[in-house]
Structure 1
Amino acid sequence: MNAQIPAKTVAFCLLSFRPDHPSGVERSLAALMEGVRQLGHTPLVLAAGPAQAGDAAEPGLIRLSSVQLPRPATNDHVLAALADPGPVVAEVRSVLAERGVDIVCWGDTLWGLGYLNAAPPGVRTALMVHKIRPDSDQRWHQALADASVVCPASVYLAQEGAQAGWDTSDWRTVPNALLMAPHPVPEAQRERLRREGPIRIVSRVEPAKGLAELVAAIPPGWNRPVELVLAEADFEFWPGMQADVITACRAAAERRPELITVRPALSWREVPPYLAGAAATIISSTEPETFCFTAAEALSVGTPVISFDHGNVPLLAGPAGRAVALQEGAGALWAALEALLADPAAYQAAAAAAPDQVARYTPAAAASALLAAAVSDPPRLGIASSRPNLGTVAAPPTGP
């Protein structure tokens, strides 16, 4: 236990949370909860009902009876469920009071109930930030103003907030963390993978992940296996979005059935060992990733990462990755990959550098940062009111 901070009960809130949910926010909260436990504190997580198969894997999971969502849900479903927020606020406050919660972390402005300010009096609150919301989002303004502390999940996000014109001077970064410690593949095995290993891509299905375009851009002369793990989340931006992406990916894969395999989702702890058996992975997101767990998990096992040159991925990968200009398109990703695989020295240098790029992203470190931020004095007040008038920020996709 952290000797400087007495034992605390720390609650997290994210309506879409379930164990092994293929979403970065869920993985972020799961790692924070693991770190809270490692430090000797007690974590809880509040999520929407109804109960789901597999809930027992997280003993701190509490399903709210006042919020029932379909699977998958859209923003409209959440807004409808919260049209009368009174019962939700009452239930959340009751649960937090009954459990003696000391700190509550809203996992998102809407899906994490950050804008409702439902904590009992005296309970410290942290707004977890995984996206910078547009200036026009009044819930975001409310969540920022009400939180005791605002905690972006990466240094990149904090910088993005500042560049968008928000006063981030009292934000406190609580970095995302990996559930499993780095475990790189030995050099000899890594060399075999360089020569003949498959390319493995693990992703939540979403148009901005660029998956179908990536598969369609595989060069005609490509001759090694490509494995695509497609994970459906419990939320989507519009009804049928995920089915459309999967259909497009399968159609692209059918052009090269001898090489391309489409696989179902993996559990959180299955992803790193799966990526350990890859020559490399590709992050083809056409919108900037604000952290990117799949990239971090690949790096943790020594698997190089190819990506576009925006967002957090190039910063995360550093010398363990290769980045190409977004405007060059998906074909450039394959060209960068081919060049890396063809250069044994460069490939081994990238693989050797990879684990160190993510070694600091441990559950205990993340939880320590959260606790330090949440118990700091004096509490921050109303940062939304101090935002300079620098125009609006482009609206991000909906969803958590």
Structure 2
Amino acid sequence: MLSQGRPLTIAFCLLSFRPDHPSGIERSLAALIEGVRQLGHEALVLAAGPAQAGDAAEPGLIRLASVQLPRPATNNDVLAALADPAPVVAEVAALLTEHAVDLVCWGDTLWGLGYLDAAPPGVRSALMVHKVRPARDERWHRALAAASVVCPASTYLAQEGVEAGWDTTRWRTVPNALLMTPRPVPSAEREMLRRDGPVRVVSRVEPAKGLAELVDAIPPDWNRPIELVLAEADFEFWPGMQADVIAACRAAAARRPGLVTIRPALGWRQVPGYLAGAAVTIISSIEPETFCFTAAEALSVGTPVISFDFGNVPLLAGPAGRMVPLPHGAEALWEATDALLKDARAYHAAATAAPGQVAAYTPAAAAEALLAAAASAPPRPGRPAEDALPVPPPR
């Protein structure tokens, strides 16, 4: 039971979680964990086993004995591990009880165990939404019904839920946050980057990110350095997916020798500083980004963003970005990049506007939004006593 005037214990669940994992959901939860602690509360993270090097970087991390996954894993691997959900539900419920958890946040419908409804009686639950699932997804229906509150990670996602016809009575937006707020690049240094700085792209390895297509579309007369940070995740949609994408990117880069450099993954806190050294960054995703941490991190240091005109990136970047129609293809991304870099006045206006676009996305603000969401959601049918319990206001 939740009590007024005491610190809370909040658990986050995501099977693929590990520190510095190059995935948007992990970065979202990491910022929430940071914010929860800044507000004086305790945070735990439940993830699949086995243990990994680097786990010690997250002191609240608990590896589940009942779920062991290969790395990288696919959805089929997760479903096989959860074929008998009883041991998983029992272990999760026992851990939530043992640690006197007040609120548990399921990081995803499947990978975050949201559909299993493993919260013990009296423990509120939040389903963190980073993608609105199709109506045919039975686990999505179960996760929505089980959660005390549903928390889309952006206003774009919240609107997508409305447009898809979902009952959003218990939906409360909890915007993603950036782990750190770096200082924007000074104007004189920014001008040097405009003239000669590299184009830097930071992305998880996935076909929908449009990475090989972006490299293939580099104009023949382009001579500014291009750097791609390709980050392999602990999950993929089919075996070998990431290897295929990396091979395609390397083949495309080889057709422009000396121009394109491919680099390995960076840690979460390294990304903003790396993007600070870019003239621009390009988001080449051919499916809509529902938040886009790379764009937000670039904006935080004053680096303009080039992307397609759909998803959350145009809303995020505003005047600090240049958007092109998706049907125009990756060639249009390079055309927009070239035009912005050649226009000093427009470039510096975009760079100046950039930090303000994401200034509100702080860990404490995200954690406060989460606690407010848990406090304000209406009761679920059949569970009014549990849902009526008040959450203490953030300190």
TM-score, normalized by length of structure 1?
Answer: 0.94
C-alpha separation in 2, matches of 1:121 and 1:234: 32
How far residue 380 of structure 1 moved from its aligned partner, in angstroms, is: 3.6
In structure 2, how many angstroms separate the alpha carbons of the residues matched to 1:17 and 1:183?
Answer: 28
Q: Confirm or deny that 1:347 pairs with 2:347.
A: yes
Question: Partner amino acid for 1:169?
Answer: T
TM-aligned CA distance change 1:5 to 1:284, over 3 Å: farther
Is the 1:148–1:381 Cα contact (8 Å) retained in structure 2?
no
Residue 128 (structure 1) aligns with: 128
1:269-304 CA-to-partner distances (Å, cap 9, x unmatched) read: 000000000000000000000000000000000000
8 A Cα contact 1:200 1:227, kept in partner:
yes
8 Å CA contact retained: 1:203, 1:230: yes
Q: Secondary structure at the match of 1:246?
A: helix
Residue 161 of structure 1 pairs with residue 146 of structure 2? no
Distance 1:5 1:213, change over 3 A: farther
Name structure 1 gaps, 5 residues minimum: 383-400
CA distance in 1, matches of 2:118, 2:253: 47
Identical aligned residues as a percent: 80
Match of 2:200 in 1: 200
Deviations 1:113-159 (A, max 9, x none): 00000011100000000000010011100110110000000000000
Post-superposition, which runs of at least 4 consecutive aligned residues in structure 1 deviate over 6 A?
A: none
Report how far residue 167 of structure 1 moved: 1.6
Task: Give the secondary-structure state (helix, strand or coil) at the position aligned to 2:223.
Answer: coil
What's the offset of the Cα at 1:169?
3.2
**Structure 1 position 67 matched with structure 2 position 67:** yes
Q: Deviation of residue 168 (structure 1)?
A: 1.5
Q: Secondary structure at the match of 2:185?
A: coil
Residue 79 of structure 1 is matched in structure 2 by: 79
State how far apart, in whole Å, the 1-side matches of 2:335 and 2:67 are.
48
Secondary structure class of the residue paired with 2:66: strand
Superposition pairs of residues 234-253 of structure 1, within 5 angstroms: 234-253=234-253
Return the offset for 1:6: 3.2
Partner of 1:223: 223
Q: What whole-Å deviation, never above 9, does each CA across 1:63-88 have from its counterpart, x for those lacking one? A: 00000000000000000000000000
Cα distance in 2 between the residues matched to 1:243 and 1:327: 27
1:177-224 CA-to-partner distances (Å, cap 9, x unmatched) read 000114210000000000000000000000000000000000001011
1:56-110, CA deviations, whole angstroms, 9 ceiling, x for partnerless residues? Answer: 0000000000000000000000000000000000000000100010000000000
Following TM superposition, by how much is the alpha carbon of 1:256 offset from its aligned partner in structure 2, in angstroms?
Answer: 1.0
Secondary structure, counterpart of 1:375 in structure 2: helix
CA distance in 2, matches of 1:257, 1:223: 11
State the partner residue of 1:46: 46
8 Å Cα contact 2:109-2:139 kept in structure 1:
yes
Aligned pair 1:265/2:265, yes or no?
yes
Paired residues of 1:145 and 1:381 also in contact (CA < 8 A)? no
Q: Which residue of 2 aligns with 1:371?
A: 371
How many Å apart are 1:33 and its aligned residue? 0.1
Which 5+ residue runs of structure 2 have no aligned equivalent?
383-395
Q: Deviations over 1:313-344 (max 9, x none)?
A: 01100000000000000000000000000000
For the pair 1:175 / 2:193, whether they are aligned, the reply is no
SS in 2 for 1:20: coil
Amino acid at match of 2:236: E
Aligned partners of 2:34 and 2:299: how far apart in 1? 21
Length, aligned pairs only: 380
Cα drift, residue 257 of structure 1: 1.8
What pairs with 1:113-152 in structure 2 (closer than 5 Å)?
113-152=113-152
Partner of 2:319: 319
> Which residue pairs with 2:13 in the alignment?
13
CA distance in 1, matches of 2:351, 2:6: 41
- Aligned pairs for 1:353-392 within 5 A: 353-376=353-376, 378-381=378-381
Note the C-alpha offset of 1:372: 1.0
Q: What is the deviation of 1:378?
A: 4.0
Q: Deviations over 1:362-381 (max 9, x none)?
A: 00000000011113364244
| CA distance in 1: counterparts of 2:377 and 2:251, whole angstroms | 56
The CA distance in 1 between the partners of 2:321 and 2:381, in whole Å, is: 40
The equivalent residue for 1:57 is 57
Matched letter for residue 343 of structure 1: D
The corresponding residue for 2:386 is: none
